[in-house]
Amino acid sequence: MGTINKYTPEEILAIFQANYLQQQQFDPEIDPGESLELETTIEEWINICDLSEPYELSDYFNYFFDLDFSMETWLYVMQPKNKKTLGELCNFISEEAFKPVIVPIKVFGSDCRNAATFKHLISQFSKKGIDAKIQPSSSVESFAKKHLGILIEEVNKLNPETLPPVKYRENAWQNLGGYCLLFCVLTAIASIWISNLGLIIGGLFGTGILFYWIGSRFEPKQMSFDGLVTFKDLVLKINNA
């Protein structure tokens, strides 16, 4: 189904850039519109993307790139974070991580790269504990609503130019929570001139948090990618982007 190869530092950077592109669409803590370059410091990257500190990122990098380095090794690569750069991190990962190379498989007597790519994705999903019965005709959006992070990770490792910005819309519960928190802020401002609004502010805040929590238990209203309706569309884009 596939063999292995090495990433270049530029390819690792492209993965980080692609991940950042998707984060901007649904994470309000992200600084949008910034540029991630090899010269970007680890500290700047963490602040732009609202990431964890280096000691927490070590576990994620081992998971993402299927590595097994100690926290001390990762900290040596990333600290001091105000001096170490993405270039140094990308160089290290490119020397150690393996890049999957899709080898076409036989389908009805002919080599088919798309079939091999599809099988690779299904295999990777299974390794991440996803036992989804996915067919080429299966909906990308339905999968993304449940497993967006894993979808982005696995596609970006194959071809970080594949995915357009995700179109994300919150569900009704989350929208209600947002309205409650907005009214909470407006009421807090009004309390400068009007007294005895403390209970109302507290009630709106608590209700907003409750609605957001309820909403988090359900799928978002939308989690789609332009032009990628089915997994067949996705595989074709991976191999032709």
So where are the chain's domains?
A: 2-99, 104-169+219-240, 172-216
Q: In angstroms, rounded to a whole number, what is the distance separating the alpha carbons of residues 166 and 22? A: 6
The backbone region for 52, taken as left when phi is positive above 0, alpha when psi lies in -120 to 50, beta otherwise, is: beta
Q: Which residue has the higher pLDDT, 101 or 231?
A: 231
Q: Taking each helix axis from N to C terminus, what angle separates 42-49 and 86-96, rounded to the nearest 10 degrees?
A: 90
pLDDT at 196 over 70: yes
Give the residue, 129 or 3, on which the prediction is more confident: 129
Q: How much is the pLDDT for 185?
A: 86
Do residues 177 and 229 make contact, with C-beta atoms less than 8 angstroms apart? no
Of the pLDDT bands very low, low, confident and very high (cuts 50, 70, 90), residue 86 is: very high
The three-class DSSP label of residue 213 is helix
Compute the distance between CA of residue 98 and CA of residue 100 in angstroms, rounded to an integer. Answer: 6
Q: Which carries the bigger pLDDT value, residue 137 or residue 169?
A: 137
pLDDT of residue 241: 61
Q: What is the mean pLDDT of the chain?
A: 89
Instruction: Give the mean pLDDT of 21-41.
Output: 89
| Range with the poorest average pLDDT among 104-113, 116-125, 143-152 | 104-113
Least confident of 25-34, 86-95, 211-220, 223-232: 211-220
Longest dimension (CA), the chain: 79
Degrees to nearest 5, angle at CA 46 with 42 and 51: 135
Q: What is the pLDDT of residue 94?
A: 95
When mean pLDDT is compared over 2-6, 44-48, 198-202, the highest value belongs to 44-48
Q: Which amino acid is at 133?
A: K
85 vs 186, more confident: 85
* H-helix segments, the chain: 9-26, 42-49, 54-64, 71-78, 86-96, 113-127, 140-158, 172-190, 198-216, 231-240
pLDDT band at 95 (very low <50, low <70, confident <90, very high): very high
108 — pLDDT class (breaks 50, 70, 90): confident
* The pLDDT of residue 2 is above 60: no
**At 1, is the pLDDT very low, low, confident or very high (cuts 50, 70, 90)?**
very low
- Has residue 18 got a pLDDT over 60? yes
pLDDT tens, residue by residue, 38-60: 999 999 999 999 888 888 899 99
Q: Are 163 and 238 in contact (CB under 8 A)?
A: no
Omega within 30 of 0 (cis) for the link into 160: no
Q: What is the mean pLDDT of residues 72-101?
A: 94
